[in-house]
Structure 1
Amino acid sequence: MPLIRPRSTAGIALITTLLLLYLWTSSTSSTLSTTPSSPPPVWRTPQYESYFWTTLPTNYPPKQIRPLPTTSPLKFPRIQAASPSESPEALKTRLQRQTAVKDVFSKCWASYKRHAWKADELAPVSGGQKNPFGGWAATLVDSLDTLYLMDMKPEFDEAVAAAASIDFTKTDLDEVNVFETTIRYLGGFLSAYDLSADARLLSKAVEVGEMLYHAFDTPNRMPITRWAIHAAMAGKKQVAPAGLLVAEIGSLSMEFTRLSMLTRDPKWFDAVQRITEGMAAQQNATALPGLWPLVVSAQDEIYSVGDTFTLGAMADSVYEYLPKMSALTGGQLPVYREMYEAAMATALKHNLFRPMTPSNQDILVAGTVKAADNGGGVKATLEPQGQHLVCFLGGLLTLGGKLFGRQQDLDAARRLVDGCVWTYKALPRGIMPETFYMLPCPSSTCAWDEASWKKGVLARAKDADKASDDADAIISRDRLPKGFTSIPDRRYILRPEAIESVFVSYRATANPSLMESAWEMFTAINATTSTRLANSAVWDVTRPIGEDPGMADSMESFWMGETLKYFYLVFAAWDDVSLDEWVFNTEAHPFRRLLP
């Protein structure tokens, strides 16, 4: 760069100002991940300063605010395998499949725009609209980064313009789910900004962040996760709840931290780090040390009392965010690695089981554990219930195993991903149900035993108050594939967790069979859920092809924000959204990692 010789006092002053600005920016760069090309936009506009949530007084301001970490980021091991070689025929097939996924997304987007524009959800059968998430255009915001990644630029530009007009000071809901608002809206805006550098998106992220920050306005600065928003808007004092789901309080860290990284305002990071510190302090004081119970108390800041321990619904993303926070912040906060390793040591020992299958497949499923004091100490009892949602775990263990060099995690991850793929294939429509039970193998052997399976079917029926002496009748009535002892929830609600783990595992191993499995999953899902307008959740995936699975007229925003995005990325170029540069939040919104 050529030297610029100043020609006046004003020029000297300008250069001095620019130099000071450069030095200040450089001194804080370790708290930020890189953003595309230009420096962070100026979002403290007059409009922001007069924004309702900015001006609303705080009843319980924090006594001090933790700063963002300023240590140098660590150099983690690579997550992605070397790019696999590809023949011309394989390249053609991959691109055709990627186009097929994009075509399904485009159909859904066009119908959303035509029938439910700026509503939260499209009703994909009736063509109506729904507003379960504040009426703030959840599908639109959740889809922003998908539009960008699919190179749908006109649609992206139109969506950004529409998103800029969303008013987060108005909603018809009496109660706002803070967790869902965080992962869908705050996560959606942050990710789309990280990808596009469009300043309007960071401004909207700040608007959401300012709103959500008021959910922390309680005496102990713990959040109200099911938030009476209108009372808060009226300035009424609030108290954090005594009982809430652990996922809803423990899964805000990525989005709040990324917002602080981008704005250089540490208040959001401080808000969630208070939660992390409390959970870390009590992690080994639970009935199942290493894991947190399903229900905790924000009011009393107690995270250690309870007897149910799961990595599935209502707890999942607490564990998901531990290695992801390490990746996001460049390892500057060792507590997240420590918490992850303690949690996975317990989960691998107690929550995972190998089910008995007719093919003797070496797979794993994650179940729920009940821990109770039987007088001689705590006894942990496994409930062998599988969940579609817990299929995220294979991807999580892949990330953690790669980042922290834990081979035991990678071994379990492979078997968990294989378990989810197997379960898809085992059902008549090639789609996993929402929940199911299987028979754990005995510790000594894992050979298929039809008599044992049928005994398991009878025992499960008895537990469900559907006692019968005829296992064959139950199997026929409930359409149980071999290996399943019960399927209490037969829905498929367009969930992403199985393809999420297939995607992560494929990028980490380059195993071509995973790409084939992804294609089989996609074609099966689309064949069963496709409607005239879009795709719908269905009531019963145990019904064979040719029978009606029952359309639920529901298409949650994660179908376009997560499921189709992961399918698309499986067939994308190898370095598109590289896991060595990006980390996904629990709603599949990629954030830029802080790199050395």
Structure 2
Amino acid sequence: MQFVSVKNLLNMTNPDQMDYMVQQRYENGDYCKEIDAHRVVYSQIKCCTFGGNDTYIYLVEEQALCEYNMTVCSPVACGLMQHDEFISKALTNMKEDERITLVKSVKDMFYHAYNGYMTHAFPHGDLQPLTCRGSEFELGRLPMLTLIDTLDTLAVLENATEFQRAVKLVVENVDYDLDIPVSVFETTIRVLGGLLSAHLFALNTDLKLFPEGEYDDALLRLAVDLADRLMPAFNTTTGIPYGTVNLRRGVPENETLIASTAGAGSLSVEFTMLSVLTGEPKYAAASRGAVRALFQRRSVFGLLGKHINTHSGQWTESTSGPGSNSDSFYEYLLKMYELFGDRESLEMFMQVYPSVLAHNRHGDWYADVSMHTGCLNGLKRIVFESLAAFWPGVQVAVGDLNGAAESMNSFYRVWRDYGFLPEQFAVRDWKPVKSRYPLRPELIESTLYMHEATNDSSWLRAGAHVVQSLQEYAKTSCGYASIGDIERKKQEDYMPSFFLSETCKYLYLLFNTTHFFRRGNYVLTTEAHPFPILPTKLVAPILRAADAQVSSNKVVYGNRFSPERVMRCEIPKFYDFIDYSVYYKGKFVERTSRCSPRLQSPVSVQQDIKPATEKIATTALHDTKSTTTEMEMRSRLRKESRTR
């Protein structure tokens, strides 16, 4: 027997027969004389986690005379191509020993990259993993950037010895009185967030990362010094900060007036935490004022642009979407409520969230639209950005698990076909537009949240494929390299600090299902720095004091939002709703742009899904007819609400 890949799918006369078919070739023919009947084969699809994207026959056993059990290794069983007909035979549950093996694999991945940085690059900002030497981050030549960004990953790994050593290196060697320009956004999320998170871990008496009495708040003092050097960025007529400051001289004389929505509106979590820890409300006041200023300038459709003039308040780029230059703005509206109970941020989130779903979502994908029309720009094609892969994680947080699973399965289908998720991907053409993969964490971030919400181990399968791709294509002798071209798997001599801070951390927390983080007492920043949920009595006075410092504290919310629109708690599996087209009432229906004539909603369409794609057709060598076995879907869709 052999598995044959079916080519040129669009020209196939039988649309039911897609991607793979089994051809049975019996040495003694299809007819079994001993039983006076045709030979029979029962096929079972098996997920071979580290078997790559190949489909191959794993084992054939003759269970009875002329009756065979055939086990096939295929990514369909891991969820990467899975549809209705495979569900009842697919192995989706991950055994405990396999999960533990993956935990160890991710730890080894982290330490390989971390030790490579410390050996070959420290105290430089970043590691060049091909030449094994140090380099500086282009948006701010800050020393020890990777180490500071990684401090709390050592804490998450509960490595007290290395955590203490790393903190000592930072405290004894870092000085931010530097005559250099830095990105306010990147410095905040990577460095300020890293210092604050490590400070809070050092204080944690349960983890015992520091012996009692040996930590003296040194990281917090560094954080205060750094934040004070960033504060001049907020001196604009709108309160929307500049994008760059010089750590010694303040805002550069020739600094552009243009700032991105994400860069200006994603500082609130770190700055508010600093206010809570110091009792000084000015940091929270400045960062939350910037968020208000951006939100007040949303369009009538509830959409925000991607770049704005910090003095005039006019949008200079009216493109709107949850991808690049705006992604973490949406994320932080929700996380400000999760972490600090900030009702105002929740009110803002409840306005922009349904706007994104109504205008930016096209089928399972998210694409940029005009903030003024809500319609696709330019060529009117759907181009997905990998940065938007964080969005399903937001959907999980508000209970829209079904919508999150739809998108994540489509994203993972790209991963299956190309090995990684490219920076930009043209959905209709099914090919990369920008072919880089700089070790980004957003898809695995959403996978972690989905598994946390559902406890469904099929999502661990998804994460296993990320590990496999990284080990196979990105690993070098001293670290892990960004992929410059996912089609050719060409490596780049660059390992961003967020690979250790985010990608490895999300993977470790995904597979380590008993980790203390899973108890739900932490909120991860956009750089995956864990912040603990602090008592209300510490937070509420700071929010009130910060509001008092803002001259204009009125926010116009517009039409009220109904939570019932998104609070759905069906539990989908990893393999559900993988494609961007569905089989509806006898024909394929492609999900269309919101600015096109509306088809029946995806929720309604799903109720009529019939098995139609990616079936295994069993064809006898001496028989002109082919038969297709269809299996009914067994996805678990039980409703449950999740409270914290």
Do these two structures clear the TM 0.5 threshold for a shared fold by scoring above it? yes
**How far apart, in 1, do the equivalents of 2:473 and 2:221 lie?**
40
Q: Residues 254-281 of structure 1, C-alpha deviation per residue, up to 9 Å, x if partnerless?
A: 0000111111111101111211222232
Give the residue type in structure 2 aligned to 1:94: R
Distance change in 2, residues 1:588/1:89 (3 Å): closer
Structure 2 counterpart of 1:555, from 495, 512, 519:
495
Residue in 1 that maps onto 2:260: 245
Distance change in 2, residues 1:101/1:493 (3 Å): same
Residue in 1 that maps onto 2:154: 147
Matches within 5 A, 1:83-232: 90-132=95-137, 133-171=140-178, 173=180, 175-197=181-203, 198=215, 199-218=217-236, 221-232=239-250
**How far apart, in 2, do the equivalents of 1:98 and 1:169 lie?**
36
**How far apart, in 2, do the equivalents of 1:126 and 1:119 lie?**
14
Residue in 2 that maps onto 1:425: 416
Question: How far did 1:320 drift?
Answer: 0.8
Between stretches 430-439 and 571-580, larger displacement belongs to 571-580
**How far apart, in 2, do the equivalents of 1:534 and 1:171 lie?**
29
1:277 pairs with 2:292: yes
Structure 1 counterpart of 2:359, from 350, 362, 376:
350
Structure 2 counterpart of 1:495, from 425, 440, 461:
440
**How far apart, in 1, do the equivalents of 2:433 and 2:501 lie?**
27
TM-score (norm 1): 0.68
Give the residue type in structure 2 aligned to 1:193: H
Distance change in 2, residues 1:251/1:90 (3 Å): same
Q: Which has the higher strand share?
A: 2
Between stretches 578-587 and 119-128, larger displacement belongs to 578-587
Structure 2 counterpart of 1:335, from 338, 344, 350:
344
Distance change in 2, residues 1:293/1:155 (3 Å): same
TM-score (norm 2): 0.63
RMSD of Structure 2 on Structure 1 (CA): 2.3
Aligned residue pair count: 428
Give the residue type in structure 1 aligned to 2:370: K
Q: Which has the higher helix share?
A: 1
Distance change in 2, residues 1:221/1:280 (3 Å): closer
Contact 2:474–2:482 (Cα < 8 Å) also in 1 = yes
**How far apart, in 2, do the equivalents of 1:595 and 1:509 lie?**
27
**How far apart, in 1, do the equivalents of 2:334 and 2:190 lie?**
20
Question: How far did 1:383 drift?
Answer: 4.1
Secondary structure of the structure 1 residue equivalent to 2:445: helix
Structure 2 counterpart of 1:261, from 268, 276, 286:
276
**How far apart, in 2, do the equivalents of 1:268 and 1:163 lie?**
23
**How far apart, in 2, do the equivalents of 1:314 and 1:119 lie?**
27
1:323 pairs with 2:321: no
Residue in 2 that maps onto 1:369: 369
Distance change in 2, residues 1:529/1:172 (3 Å): farther
Structure 2 segments unaligned to the other structure (5+ residues)? 1-92, 204-214, 537-644
Matches within 5 A, 1:406-425: 409-425=400-416
Distance change in 2, residues 1:433/1:220 (3 Å): closer
Secondary structure of the structure 2 residue equivalent to 1:299: coil
**How far apart, in 2, do the equivalents of 1:344 and 1:433 lie?**
25
Question: How far did 1:219 drift?
Answer: 5.7
Contact 2:246–2:252 (Cα < 8 Å) also in 1 = no
Residue in 2 that maps onto 1:313: 324
Residue in 1 that maps onto 2:310: 298
Contact 1:122–1:129 (Cα < 8 Å) also in 2 = yes
Structure 1 segments unaligned to the other structure (5+ residues)? 1-87, 355-363, 403-408, 440-456, 458-483, 544-548
Percent identity between the two aligned chains: 29
**How far apart, in 1, do the equivalents of 2:189 and 2:371 lie?**
30
Q: Which has the larger radius of gyration?
A: 2
Secondary structure of the structure 2 residue equivalent to 1:201: helix
Give the residue type in structure 2 aligned to 1:136: P
Question: How far did 1:293 drift?
Answer: 0.4
Secondary structure of the structure 1 residue equivalent to 2:323: coil
**How far apart, in 2, do the equivalents of 1:389 and 1:513 lie?**
23
Q: Residues 339-371 of structure 1, C-alpha deviation per residue, up to 9 Å, x if partnerless?
A: 1121111111111122xxxxxxxxx11111135
Residue in 1 that maps onto 2:452: 507
Question: How far did 1:300 drift?
Answer: 2.2
